[in-house]
Amino acid sequence: AQTVTQSQPEMSVQEAETVTLSCTYDTSESDYYLFWYKQPPSRQMILVIRQEAYKQQNATENRFSVNFQKAAKSFSLKISDSQLGDAAMYFCAWVPSYGKLTFGQGTILTVHP
């Protein structure tokens, strides 16, 4: 079975500091995509960043970047210069070429002022 594991149920960070959220996945597929989604208390799911497995270069979006280690099946999210608005549940997700998105269990991120 294809699985996505987020081993950190909760994380906290001080405002302006950096935090890294972990994600590992298990698949025998070679062609797939990885995502990080953010879910604030409003419940709205928001895409944070996307990584294509065939790309060696790690994706970045402003203060958000990933460390994609394909051989290790690891896809961590780094948030730099954390802001109060970054507080949310973060979900790692994986989709293979046949298109069924699988989510991890989520990590609750708290940002302290």
Partner 1 sequence: NAGVTQTPKFQVLKTGQSMTLQCAQDMNHNSMYWYRQDPGMGLRLIYYSASEGTTDKGEVPNGYNVSRLNKREFSLRLESAAPSQTSVYFCASSRDRLGEQYFGPGTRLTVT
Whole-number Å distance between alpha carbons of 1 and 58: 26
62: which residues sit within 8 A by CB, 6+ positions away?
Answer: none
Measured from the CB atom, the residue of 68 and 91 that comes closer to partner 1 is 91
Q: Applying CB under 8 A, does 3 fall inside the site for partner 1? A: no
Closest CA to 95 of 35, 44, 49: 35
Q: How far is the CB of 48 from partner 1 (least distance, A)?
A: 11
Measured from the CB atom, the residue of 13 and 104 that comes closer to partner 1 is 104
Q: Where do contacts with partner 1 occur on this chain (CB under 8 A)?
A: 4, 33, 35, 42-47, 50, 91, 93, 95, 97-106
